[in-house]
Amino acid sequence: MSRIAVYPGSFDPLTRGHLDIIQRAAKLFEHVIVAVSNNASKKNSFSVSERIEMVEESIRGLPNVDCDTIGGLLVDYLRKKKARVLIRGLRVVSDMDYEFQLASFNRRLSKDVETVFLMPDDQYTYLSASMVREVARLGAGTDQFVPSFVARRLKLKFGGSRD
């Protein structure tokens, strides 16, 4: 059986913490799909196509990782992709309650689904996409938080930098 893992999220924008999780997962699984959520009810700063472009640019050089969009039930998407493993990142203890609820719920929807929790490098434990967006909106540079391609997109979206 092929070991395919799916790492779902909004990736609005993709951060260095997300990228760290993707790189870790790529070492553990034969194939990793970064599944960008296409949830119309969520107010994202970037469109699905912009987020996919940022992810694809950031995962170049990782031959066993690709990007796709996801809408609907996650367990249905996993079945369609013949994947059984969900990757979820855990940064801090406060993430655990929510992530465990999701894992339990997904397991109830499909007994075949396993959730694997990965912790990013310590330097990324404080990092969240919402914080990055806020910093960018306030005009600060984001290079230390996101890949350079994403930092350029944030600068274009939210304006200049006060660095």
Q: Which residues contact 31 (CB under 8 A, 6 or more apart)?
A: 2, 3, 4, 5, 64, 65, 66
Q: What's the pLDDT score for residue 91? A: 86
Residue 17 has pLDDT above 60, yes or no: yes
Which of residues 17 and 161 earns the better pLDDT score? 17
Confidence tier at 1 by pLDDT (50, 70, 90): very low
Give pTM, 2 decimals: 0.92
**What gap in Å lies between CA 9 and CA 86, rounded to an integer?**
11
Residue type, 33: I
Distance separating the N- and C-terminal Cα atoms of the chain: 50
Q: Which stretch of DSSP H or E encloses residue 67? A: strand 65-70
Q: Which residues contact 128 (CB under 8 A, 6 or more apart)?
A: 15, 17, 91
pLDDT tens-digit readout, 55-64:
999 999 999 9
**What gap in Å lies between CA 130 and CA 114, rounded to an integer?**
27
**What gap in Å lies between CA 163 and CA 105, rounded to an integer?**
44
**What gap in Å lies between CA 152 and CA 155, rounded to an integer?**
5
Percent of the chain with pLDDT over 70: 96
Domains identified in the chain and CATH numbers: 4-125 (3.40.50.620)
pLDDT tens-digit readout, 32-79:
999 999 877 778 999 999 999 999 999 999 999 999 999 889 999 999
